[in-house]
Each structure stands twice: as structure tokens, then as C-alpha cells.
Structure 1
Amino acid sequence: MNDTGETPVPPLNSIKKLVCSKDFSPSSTMITNKNFNIIGVIGEIHAEEQLLDKTVAFLNSQNVDNILCVGDIVDGSGDANQCCNILKREEILVVLGNHDDGY
């Protein structure tokens, strides 16, 4: 919080896109600011458990403090249950996506 009691918002130039490989289909973004922890953000997983596992491993190698999944875990050709297991194992906070709503 700043002196007015408001939580400061990180400046736009502190948002970095993590582009590792065109094979990484889950999108990921890392937000950094000296006043905040480093947070990895992933989404659009669509049951691609192998890509999710690679993405989480990459974010962990970047020493992120937390990972947030913004949804759309299901509705793809892979194993959605395995994706959920990865998210639980890594203690990733998950927000329900529009594709997840019916599951």
C-alpha cells in the first residue's frame, strides 16, 4: 500500500511476455515489480498436460513466487484430469474459465 492506503498497480513496462517456443500453447505472462512478488500467469491450457507441465517447469525455473491459472483447463484433446493434478501438485491458484464452467 502507498501513503493513501491504495495498493499500487505495476507499471505497464513491468509486464514481460515469456516467449519460450511456439510449441508452448498455454499462454504465460510474468508480472514483476519491486513492490510485488513475481507472479507467473498461465491460461488457455485446454487439456494439454505435457505443455502445461513444461510451462510450469519453466515458470518455476524463473523463480516466480506464485503461479496463477486464469482458466480454460478443459475442452481439449489431452487429459484434463492430469492437468488438474499438475495444478494441485504445484499449488497453483486457479480461476474458473468459460470452458471450465460446464465441468
Structure 2
Amino acid sequence: MTSTEFPYTLTISLPLPTNRLASSALRAIEVDAELSPFVRREMTVTSSKPTETEEEKAILETTYRATTNRMLRVAVNGFMESLGVVLGVMEELDEDVLEAEGVEK
């Protein structure tokens, strides 16, 4: 994949509270492959710190590459919708969120 084939790029870095939540979001979203051959997506969980332990990796980083700006926009819109669903489920059902709000299980 060269930059001339996929010249339009966008990287989205989403910090989440914990590595577990970032990894869960990654696993939930990565199962849906990009349907268009004109779009490529790479996802990883990373950290903003140069010396990082696995637990410090709590940033979901997604890089999109596309052949046209329209294909990039369509792909990112779909990603944001999926991400909204995943984050909504985490907010409603995740045990750490419930504990932080003082709700007993």
C-alpha cells in the first residue's frame, strides 16, 4: 500500500480510562472489516508515554487510508457510529463504570 494508492489519511486517537476498556473496544470494532477495497484501516492500543507498560496502553488509535476523500469520510462516519455503540454499551454495562458511580452489583 503506497501513499499514491491511498493518499487520504486520518488518525483518530481515543483515550480511554483503562487498558482493558481500550482493548475491549478494539476487539469489538475490529471484527467488522472494511467492506470497500478503497479503504484500509489499522487499529492498535497504544500509550502517549515513550516508556509504556501494557497497563499504560489505554489509547485506541485508528488510522484510515482511502483512495478518495469521500471514501475516507464514509468509512470514518461508519466507524464513529460503531464506536458510539461500543462506548454506550461500556457506559451502561461495564463493571468498572458501575463501581465508579457507586452502584452495587
Per residue, is there more helix in 1 or in 2?
A: 2
Structure with bigger gyration radius: 2
Bigger relative contact order (CA 8 A; separation at least 6): 2
Name the TM-score class by shorter chain: 0.3 to 0.5
Per the normalisation by structure 2, the TM-score is 0.33
Per residue, is there more strand in 1 or in 2?
A: 2
Per the normalisation by structure 1, the TM-score is 0.34
